[in-house]
C-alpha cells in the first residue's frame, strides 16, 4: 500500500485538487450551469473529488465538436495514422499506469492488483488490439448473378458521431471497449462515464490530448444517465448510441433511438448459469465457480451467479465453495492481502443486501456470508462478505433477477436435459459456463444454451479478440473481436457498369 501511495500521491492529489472538468473540443471546461456532483470512495464513504455535471448545452457543444471533427480533420487521417494515434494512447496509459490504478481503486473499489493488471493494462491492450484493425477494414468484390460486364464491390465506412455510455463496474476498461473500435473505424465520440466512476475517464482525456488526437474527435461529458445520458441518446446529430448498463435503461435508449433510427448497440444484464457435471475436475470447477461470482465484487454482467451442480457432487462442491468464501479476505483494496474490495456505492450495497433478505423470505438458506465483515476498520465502507444461498428454485427472485454483487445461488440437478432447460429459464442470455470431461456432453450443452458466450472448463476466459454478445434481453450487437468494430461501420455497395 505504501509503495502505491508514495509513487502517485502528489500527482493524483494535484489532479483531484480542483473540480474535474469535462473534455470538449480538446479543452477542459466547466459545465454551463456550474453544477457539480461528488465522487465517493466506496472503501470509506469519503468524498474524493467534485465533478462537473453536463447539461443539454454542454452535450450540444460536445456533439457539435464531434460532428465538425468527423467531417473535418479526422476524415483526412489515413487508417495507418489512426493506428499510430491509438497505439500512442496505449503507450501513455502504460506510462501513467500508477496514477490510473490509484484512481480506479479509490473511485470504484476493485483491489489494487486487479485495477492495475486487469483494468488499466487491459485497457491499453484493448486499444492496441483495435489499433491493428484500423488498416484491415476491407470490403469485398462479388460476381453478379445477372452476369454482364459489371464490377461490384463494397466499402466499409465510419458511421459518424457515436454517443457512448459506459457502466460503473469497468470504468477505464469500459471506456476502452467503447472508444477503441469507434476510433479505429474512423468515428468520433461523445463518451459519458458513469457518475459513480468518472475519474479515470477524465484522466484518460488528458492522455488523449497528449497523444495528439485532433480536437473534437473524443469528447467526455460527465453526469447521471437521467440527464446527461438522456441528452446524448436523444440528440439528433448522434448517429449511433453504444450503451453498457441495465436492461431497463437499454430498452429506454432503444425507444429514444427509434425517433431518428439511430444505430444502437446494447451490452446489458445477465443471470448466467454455471453448470458443473459430476465427471468434471471438481477442484478446478469449484475454483472457477468461486471466481465467477466474486471477481470484481460480483459486479460483472457476465457473473456466473447461478451454479448448477450434478446431485452426485452437489454437497462436495457446495462445501468447497463455502470454505473458499469463509477464507476470502475482504478488505482495503490497497492492502496486498485483500482479495475483494467494497461494492461501488451505498445504493448498490443496499440493493444487494435487500436481495439477500428476499432470498431468505423465499425460503433460501444463507450458507455463508450475507453481511458486512466484522472488522471495525471497514465499517465506513460498502463491504459485503461473499454470500452463498441454497434451497431456492427458478421461480425465486434471487434466482431470476440480476443482483450484481458477490451473491451465488447454488442448485442441484439430475441430468443434462434438465439442466439445459433450467439454465435457459431466464430472460437473459449473456454468458454461461460448463465443466465436464465429456466432450460430447460439453458440445450438447454448448449448442443448447441460449447465451452469447459459453466457457468450458473455465470462467471469464475473455479476450479482446473474442466477441462478447448478448442474446435475448442481454443486448444487441457485440463488443470485442471483428464484430466489435464492424458495428461502428456502415457498408456501401458499388456497382459499376463497364459496358
CATH code, domain carrying 303: 3.40.309.10
| Pairing mode of beta strands 407-413, 306-310 | parallel
Do 68 and 135 sit in the same domain of this protein?
yes
311-327 helix and 282-294 helix, angle to the nearest 10 degrees: 50
Strand partners, 435: 276
Q: Is 396 a catalytic residue?
A: no
Contact assessment for residue 294 and residue 336, using Cβ atoms and an 8 Å cutoff: no
| Pairing mode of beta strands 455-456, 433-435 | parallel
Do 222 and 358 sit in the same domain of this protein?
no
498 within some domain: no
HSE, side-chain direction, 13 A CA sphere, residue 310: 16
Do 352 and 374 sit in the same domain of this protein?
yes
Do 410 and 333 sit in the same domain of this protein?
yes
Number of folded domains that form the chain: 2
What CA–CA distance (Å, rounded) separates 367 from 390? 7
471 within some domain: no
What CA–CA distance (Å, rounded) separates 208 from 202? 10
406 within some domain: yes
Q: Which of 267, 385, 479, 486 is catalytic?
A: 267
Q: Is 162 a catalytic residue?
A: no
Do 294 and 230 sit in the same domain of this protein?
no
469 within some domain: no
Do 296 and 217 sit in the same domain of this protein?
no
Do 234 and 364 sit in the same domain of this protein?
no
What CA–CA distance (Å, rounded) separates 480 from 201? 19
Q: Which of 53, 112, 162, 301 is catalytic?
A: 301
Question: Can you give the residue range of the structural domain that contains 189?
Answer: 2-268+476-493
The answer for residues whose C-beta is within 8 angstroms of residue 218's C-beta and 6 or more apart is 23, 179, 183, 188, 189, 191, 205, 208
| Pairing mode of beta strands 141-142, 150-158 | antiparallel
Contact assessment for residue 289 and residue 322, using Cβ atoms and an 8 Å cutoff: no
470 within some domain: no
Strand partners, 20: 51
Nearest C-alpha neighbor of 165 from the set 211, 122, 201: 201
Do 115 and 102 sit in the same domain of this protein?
yes
Do 30 and 59 sit in the same domain of this protein?
yes
Q: What pLDDT tens digit does each residue of the chain (499 aa) get?
A: 454 456 677 888 889 999 999 999 999 999 999 999 999 999 999 999 999 999 999 999 999 999 999 999 999 999 999 999 999 999 999 999 999 999 999 999 999 999 999 999 999 999 999 999 999 999 999 999 888 899 999 999 999 999 999 999 999 999 999 999 999 999 999 999 999 999 999 999 999 999 999 999 999 999 999 999 999 999 999 999 999 999 999 999 999 888 889 999 999 999 999 999 999 999 999 999 999 999 999 999 999 999 999 999 999 999 999 999 999 999 999 999 999 999 999 999 999 999 999 999 999 999 999 999 999 999 999 999 999 999 999 999 999 999 999 999 999 999 999 999 999 999 999 999 999 999 999 999 999 999 999 999 999 999 999 999 999 999 999 999 999 999 999 999 999 999 8
Contact assessment for residue 353 and residue 342, using Cβ atoms and an 8 Å cutoff: no
381 within some domain: yes
What CA–CA distance (Å, rounded) separates 44 from 6? 20
Do 313 and 360 sit in the same domain of this protein?
yes
Do 221 and 363 sit in the same domain of this protein?
no
The answer for residues whose C-beta is within 8 angstroms of residue 199's C-beta and 6 or more apart is 16, 20, 39, 48, 49, 51, 103, 104, 106, 107, 171
499 within some domain: no
Summarised one tens digit per residue, pLDDT across range 350-373 is 999 999 999 999 999 999 999 999
186 within some domain: yes
Amino acid at each position: 500500500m505504501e509503495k502505491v501511495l508514495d509513487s502517485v500521491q502528489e500527482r493524483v492529489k494535484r489532479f483531484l485538487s480542483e473540480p474535474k472538468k469535462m473534455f470538449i473540443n480538446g479543452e477542459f471546461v466547466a459545465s454551463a450551469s456550474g453544477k457539480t456532483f461528488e465522487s465517493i470512495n466506496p472503501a470509506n464513504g469519503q468524498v474524493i473529488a467534485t465533478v462537473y455535471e453536463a447539461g443539454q448545452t454542454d452535450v450540444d457543444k460536445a456533439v457539435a465538436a464531434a460532428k465538425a471533427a468527423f467531417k473535418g480533420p479526422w476524415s483526412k487521417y489515413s487508417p495507418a495514422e489512426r493506428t499510430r494515434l491509438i497505439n500512442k494512447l496505449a503507450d501513455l496509459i502504460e506510462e501513467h499506469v500508477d496514477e490510473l490504478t490509484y484512481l480506479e481503486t479509490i473511485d470504484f473499489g476493485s483491489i489494487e492488483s486487479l485495477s492495475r493488471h486487469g483494468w488499466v493494462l487491459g485497457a491499453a491492450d484493448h486499444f492496441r488490439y483495435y489499433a491493428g484493425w484500423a488498416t484491415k477494414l476491407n470490403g469485398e468484390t462479388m460476381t453478379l448473378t445477372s452476369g454482364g460486364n459489371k464490377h461490384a464491390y463494397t466499402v466499409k465506412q465510419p458511421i459518424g458521431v457515436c454517443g457512448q455510455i459506459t457502466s460503473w463496474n469497468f470504468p477505464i476498461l469500459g471506456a476502452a471497449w467503447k472508444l477503441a473500435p469507434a476510433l479505429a473505424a474512423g468515428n468520433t465520440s461523445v463518451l459519458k462515464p458513469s457518475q459513480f466512476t468518472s475519474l479515470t475517464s477524465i484522466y484518460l482525456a488528458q492522455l488523449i490530448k497528449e497523444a495528439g488526437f485532433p480536437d473534437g474527435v473524443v469528447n467526455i461529458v460527465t453526469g447521471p444517465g437521467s440527464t446527461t445520458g438522456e441528452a446524448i441518446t436523444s440528440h439528433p446529430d448522434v448517429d449511433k448510441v453504444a450503451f453498457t448498463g441495465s436492461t431497463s435503461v437499454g430498452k429506454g435508449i432503444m425507444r429514444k433511438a427509434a425517433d431518428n433510427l439511430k444505430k444502437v448497440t446494447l451490452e446489458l444484464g445477465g443471470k448466467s448459469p454455471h453448470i458443473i457435471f459430476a465427471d468434471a475436475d471438481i477442484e478446478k470447477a469449484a475454483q472457477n465457480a468461486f471466481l465467477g461470482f466474486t471477481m470484481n465484487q460480483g459486479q460483472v454482467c457476465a457473473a456466473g451467479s447461478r451454479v448448477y451442480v450434478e446431485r452426485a457432487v452437489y454437497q462436495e462442491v457446495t462445501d468447497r465453495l463455502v470454505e473458499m468464501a469463509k477464507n476470502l479476505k475482504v478488505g482495503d483494496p490497497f492492502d496486498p492481502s485483500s482479495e475483494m474490495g467494497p461494492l461501488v456505492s451505498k445504493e448498490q450495497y443496499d440493493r444487494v443486501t435487500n436481495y439477500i433478505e428476499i432470498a431468505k423470505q423465499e425460503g433460501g438458506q444463507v450458507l455463508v456470508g450475507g453481511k458486512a465483515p466484522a472488522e471495525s476498520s471497514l465499517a465506513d465502507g460498502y463491504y459485503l462478505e461473499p454470500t452463498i444461498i441454497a434451497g431456492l428454485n427458478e421461480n425465486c427472485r434471487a434466482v431470476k433477477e440480476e443482483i450484481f454483487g458477490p451473491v451465488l445461488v447454488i442448485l442441484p440437478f439430475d441430468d443434462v436435459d434438465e439442466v439445459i432447460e433450467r439454465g435457459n429459464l431466464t430472460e437473459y442470455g449473456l454468458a454461461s459456463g460448463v465443466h465436464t470431461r465429456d466432450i460430447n456432453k460439453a458440445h450438447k450443452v454448448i449448442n443448447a444454451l441460449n447465451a452469447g458466450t459459453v466457457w468450458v472448463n473455465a470462467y471469464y476466459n475473455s479476450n479482446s479478440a473474442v466477441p462478447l454478445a448478448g442474446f435475448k434481453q442481454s443486448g444487441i450487437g457485440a463488443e470485442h473481436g471483428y464484430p466489435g468494430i464492424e458495428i461502428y461501420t456502415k457498408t456501401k455497395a458499388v456497382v459499376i457498369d463497364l459496358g
